[in-house]
Amino acid sequence: MTSAIAMFAFGAITALLSLQYPVGSLRMPGSGFLPLVLGVMLMGLAAVQFTQARLARPKPAEPAKTPGDEPGRRVLFFMGAVAAATALLRPLGFALMGFVLMFVLLRILGERRWMVSAVIALASAAASQLVFVTWLKIPLPAGMFGF
């Protein structure tokens, strides 16, 4: 239940911060459009998770887990990584930040093989750059390295 509240707050913050960028419209989305939509979707999913947790029957007590196994810890790392990526988006640029964020998120979610994480992160960053910057012509930050 705590993770649902934290995710809702994170979605609200994401949506509010996205309003600093031009939102545009469905036909001509601005750079703030996607973060706004994702923030609103995250709030909706968190509300569903909160409702499910409230309606669920109490489960019998489970044996204690080690702190590293807590799903809430993963959620906090995930949210921290996305917040850091948001803060570093302008200085580092969309493509580089997309690669770093995807790589870190894969590691947080449990992918243990470095090469697999790197290949998936590179492919997703390249695909995002191609779709959003090249095809859709959305003006995303290029960063200090120019890409």
Convert the pLDDT of each residue in 6-64 to its tens digit: 889 988 998 998 898 888 888 888 888 888 988 899 899 989 988 888 887 676 666 55
Residue 85 per-residue DSSP state: H
pLDDT at residue 64 in the model: 55
Domain ranges of the chain: 1-62, 67-147
Q: What angle do CA 57, 58, 63 make, to 5 degrees?
A: 140
What pLDDT does residue 110 have?
Answer: 82
Q: How far is CA 52 from the centre of its chain?
A: 22
What is the pTM for the complete model shown?
0.57
Digit-coded pLDDT (tens) for 111-127: 788 899 999 999 999 99
CA 2 to chain centre: 18
Look at phi and psi of residue 110 and say left if phi exceeds 0, alpha if psi is from -120 to 50, else beta.
left
Residues 34 and 19 sit within 8 Å (Cβ to Cβ): no
**Would you give the end-to-end CA distance of the chain in angstroms?**
40
The pLDDT value recorded for residue 3 is: 80
pLDDT at 146 over 70: no
